[in-house]
Amino acid sequence: MRRLAAVVTGVACLLAVACGGGDARSTATNGSGESTADASSAAPSAPGGPRVVVLGTSLTAGLGLDPDSAWPALVQRIADSQGVSVRIEAAGLSGETSAGALRRASWVLKDPVDLVVLEVGANDGLRGVDPDTTRETLVALIDTVRAVQPRALVALVQMEAPPNLGPDYTTTFRGAYPTAAERTGVRLLPFLLDSVAGVAALNQTDGIHPNEAGSRRVAQTMWRALAPLVAEAADRRSGGTSVAAPARIP
């Protein structure tokens, strides 16, 4: 119960100011002129491995951290240390809602990619967006990803809403993710900030974004979930498997 309370508290803090703001140390501009934090920053790795793009918010961009301390860069480091050939790129935009991710997905994913990871929707909860709307936007986003990159694997990261909006809202918001994943046949990954949200020692002084230690914890969580998908993407890339996108459930 203490861990659950810590997570709920952390989610409340996270989404109180959450994935907003910008990081002047890692700012780029996308095709529509929007400012992005650490947009599609490629980590060095051996050529030939699968290309992974993480489409996300400031949590993916590593707001308040050096770019090489953001969780996608740390996942790259873990993969490298284990001899796994993969190229992980972060496309994080501060303050972005799921609707914003939908608008820029085609631009971000214009080049071939093997695995797309969607860390989106936290700011929907901050703004009190109807969870049903978020769910449908997630479905539309996944459909767009598949239209642009039909051979890519797609994974959706679970996100949470602040408890101040009430238990009905938070429960419905939480359920939007497994429902969207089931309807589209994508993989649902764990809550990004599992065991980090609400833990002061793992967050920056704003109590919102993970610090370096928290980012390492996030990277460990994500690598455990992503490693099998990276292996599958590598197998498909080498011609070992050719899998059509799962049928979409209306």
The catalytic residue positions are 58, 206, 209
Cα torsion 170, 126, 132, 136: sign: negative
Cα torsion 183, 184, 186, 188: sign: negative
CA distance linking residue 230 with residue 212, whole number of Å: 24
- DSSP codes of every residue in 158-205: -----GGG-HHHHHHHHHHHHHHHHHHTPEEEPPTTTTTTT-GGGB-T
Which pair of tokens denotes residue 36? 């992005």
Cβ-in-10-Å burial (0-12, 13-18, 19+) of 140 comes to middle
CA distance linking residue 51 with residue 67, whole number of Å: 18
Work out the angle between the directed axes of helices 71-81 and 212-237 (0-180°, nearest 10): 60
Phi-psi region of 49 (alpha: psi -120 to 50; beta: other; left: phi over 0): beta
